[in-house]
Amino acid sequence: MVELTRRGLLFVLSSPSGAGKSTLAQQLLRDDGNLELSVSVTTRKRRTSEIDGHHYHFIDEAHFHQMAERQDLLEWAEVHGNFYGTPREAVETALSKGRDVLFDIDYQGTRQIAEKMSADLVRIFILPPSFGELKARLERRAEDSSGTIERRLENAKHEIREWESYDYVIVNDDLGRSYAKVKAILEAERNRRERVTGLPAFVTELLDEAAELTKGTGSEAASAGTAQK
């Protein structure tokens, strides 16, 4: 039989800061062996809980702009006064091996990827249950100054307005339920027929086999029916 393979998937999670996309992304990566994270480069200062090369590649602005000029970034954007971008080579290598790539990026980066690689792009936007809860989550995180939190909340209003540019929208009022929904979307999108390479040839072969194995059964059934009369 024809071997069925699948093209790699570009799986985007976006949300306002504090809505839960990074928590959902990390859980997906722990549970799914065929999913790998696209580690962005950023000029943002590293938080104490972050590991360079794991959460982000932390670089200076000069290096970032060099990468952008060399077309080494699949997408890039300025967010909260800092630059973020997706290294192109790592993504293209993963896709060539049939692996799925998870992106934890904002709507600006998502839009750029959609312009270049829309066929295998799946976009999910995560919303908080309320704006008050979003503010409370940022304050509980205790990793940003009050000024930074205010800036993130102001930016959140602009980000939320982009919800209609996504394929799926999930209100994260319960982490377990939200994760189950994200996981279900990933599995469904992996099995879309247009993403399975070799499927038409497989079905043709399957029907040819069926015809061969059932050859003569129709006439035999007709003869048996005549004999019974």
Q: Which residues are annotated as a binding site for ATP?
A: 15-22
Contact 38, 130 (CB under 8 A): no
Burial of 194 (0-12, 13-18, 19+ CB in 10 A): exposed
Q: Indicate the annotated binding residues.
A: 15-22
Please state, in angstroms and rounded to a whole number, the distance separating the CA atoms of residues 16 and 112.
18
Contact 77, 108 (CB under 8 A): yes
| DSSP string of 122-182, one letter each residue | EEEEEE-S-HHHHHHHHHHH--S-HHHHHHHHHHHHHHHTTGGGSSEEEE-SSHHHHHHHH
